[in-house]
A and B are shown apart, each in its own frame.
Chain A
Amino acid sequence: MPAIETRALRKVYPAPAAPKRKRGANGAGAATAAAPRSEIVALKGLDLEVLDGEFFGLLGPNGAGKTTTIGILTTRVKPTSGSAVIGGADVASQSVQVRQRIGVVPQRPNPDRSLNVIENLTFHAAYFGIPLSASQPRANQLLEQLGISDKAYAKVDEMSGGQQQRLMIARALIHEPQVIFLDEPTVGLDPQTRLSLWEILRHLHAEGRTIVMTTHYMEEADKLCDRIAIVDRGELLELDTPAALKERAPGGTLVEMSLSGDARPLVEPVRSIEGVLRVETQGSLLRVFSDRGGRVISPVIQTAEENGLSVANISLTEPSLETLFVSRTGRKLD
């Protein structure tokens, strides 16, 4: 039995009555710019299966539907149609049973600021029916494990952002859930804190827990996840192991150039340049996949100039999940 299974999961938010900017947080508003009064389709029938003990990544840009998916799976958002089951319990009709099985690390730390650090853990345990005699030692152990035991009796406000995020992880673990959800857990953390959080997540995974993490960092998904689902605009685009996904990426280095005008006339001449595997355009943006790395840049620039176009910006991306994503969605992740 898979740990999580979603079938044709769909979520439609009603049209905002008045100009409302609140939804900006998950970017769902962007898709409706053309028709502001129409409803917002955040998920368009998502089918997913997460295996027991798997570290599963949901990768996609802002507004892809990642947060909505996590919201539904953690019983905080009602699906419009379709179903989602966690450990045999349906998220909509058996939400109480689902909540008992899951731990959630939110996008932004939301500790109970009226309680101190250890109370945050022992009270959360109490909400799951765990008596203080059992939760206190477990809380201490978790704080120790996460390297914040010196803050046990501190106020939450005295902790740094990274420490608060660790507290959120401890809170998500205090009741020994079967599945842990992490929604963009490393956003806003400095690189060092991010690395130490990765260590913690690897450790949790090694303990055999099922982990579902959303992220818009390619590297993070690549390094941590057993399998990755690439989602965009509420749809599943790809689902496989990082290695298999990278193999599927169009070969070669991606060279992107912003030009001074329409890039289409360049497609044919650039395609004939040695080392160019594939050429795509999007308005004034030219995408060249090259198996000779950056060495195609100068002939491409020359070709552009021969066609009366100047180059405003150049970027280079090695073959990766990123290049796969760009070729599947026509845009970059962040």
Chain B
Amino acid sequence: MTATAALPHPVRASSVFFALLRRDVRVARKEIVFFLVRTTMQPLLFVIVFGYLLPKMNFVGRGYQTALLPGILAVSLSLSAIQSVALPMVQDFGWTKEIEDRLLAPVSTQLIAAEKIVAGMLQGVIAAAFVLPIARLVMGPISGFTFSHVGELVAIVLLGSMAFSSLGMWLGTAIAPQQIGLMFSVIIAPMLFFGCAYYPWRGLDAVPVMKYLVLVNPMVYIAEGMRGALTPDVPHMPLAVVGVALVLIASIFWSLGMRSFYKRAIG
């Protein structure tokens, strides 16, 4: 009997990480239609009403579309990043306990959480990439829309999706399963409506109190960041401010999400 004498050869953490990611990609691919419907329905409806119907009725000027599109992309990105982490977490830790097979993987518990956040980021990006062409189709040509600031765009998308995916991790592991509905009405809905997604932040000059109140809302920075990168002619928050804010928000949510995941995973 030498079974315990020989140490098993150590597994590379990166290989476990990619195995975990492959699992999430496999599952997401199986559910891609449901995933897209669930996460992009809301922004697409906004595109139809505010980006197509209202301009047609002359309730809003055509310039509104230019301000709206980056906001819609920000909403798609953040909403699906939150949901694709929070919902499985609530389910897995709440009742199915399905995640236990991954918690037994020979890597640190933090790496397992990090993988979930990365998978959420990917799904956020996919949702935004799916919404963009449809929005463009519905709204027609958008004046002032440009892809020339690729570097800024990539940075905003990465930081923003990381912030919201981590927020999803935190909410999904900290909230009781019975309160998941409450999460949408109390946290997500106000975040969307006061997130400067459907109007530019500079437009709030008209309501100064709101202009400063909304700054606590992380959505503001990703919406304004998208505006700065995609429609730079629309008055927006300086990208440097957006960048600093997103780095701060992402690191706060990251550490909250990590801590909360660990607390749920290890008793």
Q: Which residues of A come within 8 Å of B, CB atoms?
A: 1, 3, 13, 52-53, 71, 74-78, 87-88, 95-97, 99-102, 104, 106, 108, 110-115, 119-120, 123-124, 126-129, 171, 178-179, 208-210
Contact = CB atoms under 8 A, between A and B. Distances in A.
Given A1-B4, A112-B98, A74 B23 contact: no
Interface stretch (B103-111, B202-210, B231-239): B103-111
A3 B5 CA distance: 9
A1 B96 CA distance: 37
B242 to A, nearest CB: 36
B96 A53 contact: no
B27 A96 contact: no
A129 B104 contact: no
B26 A119 contact: yes
A230 B113 CA distance: 37
B241 interface: no
A128 B266 contact: no
B1 A52 contact: yes
Contact of A128 (B7, B100, B105, B109): B105
Contacts of B22: 123, 126
Contacts, number: 109
Given A1-B5, A87-B4, A112-B98, A71 B267 contact: yes
Given A3-B4, A53-B1, A76-B265, A127 B96 contact: no
Contacts of A171: 101
Contacts of B98: 110-114
A127 B108 contact: no
21 contacts: A13-B267, A52-B4, A71-B267, A75-B104, A76-B100, A76-B266, A77-B267, A96-B107, A110-B97, A110-B100, A113-B96, A113-B98, A114-B31, A115-B26, A120-B101, A123-B19, A127-B104, A127-B106, A128-B11, A129-B16, A209-B3
Contacts of B1: 52-53, 208
Nearest to B14: A129
Interface string B46-61: 0000000000000000
B101 A127 contact: yes
Given A99-B104, A110-B100, A3 B7 contact: no
Name the 5 nearest CB pairs between A and B, nearest first: A129-B11, A126-B19, A127-B105, A87-B4, A100-B106
A101 B104 CA distance: 10
Interface residues of B, number: 35
Contacts of B15: 129
Contacts of B267: 13, 71, 76-78
Of listed A76, A88, A96, A108, residue having the most chain B CB within 10 A: A96
Nearest to A119: B26
A162 B239 CA distance: 58
A13 B267 CA distance: 9
Contacts of A1: 4-5
B133 interface: no
A77 B4 contact: no
Nearest to B111: A96
Contact of B8 (A52, A100, A112, A114): A100
Given A88-B4, A100-B8, A78 B266 contact: yes
Of listed A13, A76, A97, A171, residue having the most chain B CB within 10 A: A76
A95 B22 CA distance: 24
Contacts of A178: 3-4, 8
A281 B44 CA distance: 73
Given A3-B3, A127-B20, A208-B1, A100 B10 contact: yes
Contacts of A112: 23, 98, 101
Nearest to A87: B4
A77 to B, nearest CB: 4
Given A106-B97, A119-B26, A88 B265 contact: no
B94 to A, nearest CB: 10
A9 to B, nearest CB: 14
A196 B5 CA distance: 32
A185 to B, nearest CB: 15
A115 B23 contact: yes
Of listed B3, B96, B98, B102, residue having the most chain A CB within 10 A: B3
